[in-house]
Amino acid sequence: MKVITQNIVELILQAGTQANESLINGDADLRGAGCDSLDMMNIVLIVQEKYNIEISDNELDSIQTVNDIVDILNK
């Protein structure tokens, strides 16, 4: 299954994060868009549940953008 950026953007917006919706796109820094550490964990949990995967600690540490999440899901 190929996950696209828009799928993850929609999940983030539905997650009820503090992110500025207009700043959320594939290359945007999630923290720069307003996501705090609780938002980041919530996003990861939602992604893991939706796609039935486990994101490792190493992968978790590498997540900065929506595209980072997409890359993890598509490998």
Each residue of 18-70: pLDDT tens digit? 888 888 889 989 999 999 999 999 999 999 999 999 999 999 999 999 999 99
Euclidean distance between CA atoms 48 and 45, whole angstroms: 5
Count of domains forming the chain: 1
Query: Residue 67 is part of which domain span?
Result: 5-74
Looking up residue 58, the CATH number of its domain turns out to be: 1.10.1200.10
| Residue 1 pLDDT | 60
In 1-75 the beta strands, taken as DSSP E runs, fall at: none
Report residue 75's pLDDT band, with 50, 70 and 90 as the boundaries: confident
| Residue 3 pLDDT | 82
| Residue 74 pLDDT | 92
